[in-house]
Amino acid sequence: MGAPYLTVHRADLQRALAGAVEDSPSIGMLLGAAVEKATTGSDGVRLTTAEGEFAAGLLIAADGVRSDLRALLSPESRQTDRPHLGV
Ligand SMILES: Cc1cc2nc3c(=O)[nH]c(=O)nc-3n(C[C@H](O)[C@H](O)[C@H](O)COP(=O)(O)OP(=O)(O)OC[C@H]3O[C@@H](n4cnc5c(N)ncnc54)[C@H](O)[C@@H]3O)c2cc1C
């Protein structure tokens, strides 16, 4: 199509993203903490994990194609009986 493209190994991309997060004083990273509950309100979102409760202005529910968080926050977005998914 003539558009430029770049091939990046997944591990390299992960390393670059993790490095950018570590370099940002305004972003904290907590690994291995499953979100058990999420509620939204006028002041943002509150998350409950086994590690404790967290408040944030924004939640990106990137927990996979069968995202429990998306289902929790937006039940109508739950993937139904589609056997194939393409983007
Ligand atoms: C066998 C196989 C081979 C594939 N090969 C390729 C390939 O070669 N190239 C390619 O581009 N794609 C490939 N894919 C597809 C690719 O893996 C997915 O498209 C991609 O992983 C989707 O990324 P994601 O971040 O949306 O979700 P995921 O990779 O599923 O990540 C979701 C994350 O959320 C976490 N999580 C889940 N629930 C919670 C919770 N409650 N709280 C906190 N965290 C939670 C999970 O632990 C996981 O780390 C393959 C998939 C499979 C199954």
pTM beyond 0.75: the answer is yes
Number of domains in the chain: 1
20-38 per-position pLDDT tens digit: 999 999 888 888 999 999 9
Give the model's pLDDT for residue 81: 64
**In this structure, is residue 38 part of a structural domain?**
yes
Give the model's pLDDT for residue 71: 83
Residue 7 CA to its chain's centroid (Å): 23
Show the low-confidence residues of the chain (pLDDT under 70): 78-83, 85-87
* CA 85 to ligand 1 centroid distance, Å: 14
**In this structure, is residue 83 part of a structural domain?**
no
Probe target for ligand 1 pocket from 5, 10, 63, with the most ligand atoms within 8 Å of CB: 63
**In this structure, is residue 41 part of a structural domain?**
yes
Sign of CA dihedral 38, 45, 54, 64: positive
Sign of CA dihedral 81, 69, 31, 85: positive
> Is residue 6 a contact partner of residue 20, using CB atoms and an 8 Å limit?
no
Give the model's pLDDT for residue 83: 66
User: Does ligand 1 come within 6 angstroms of the Cβ of 63?
Assistant: yes
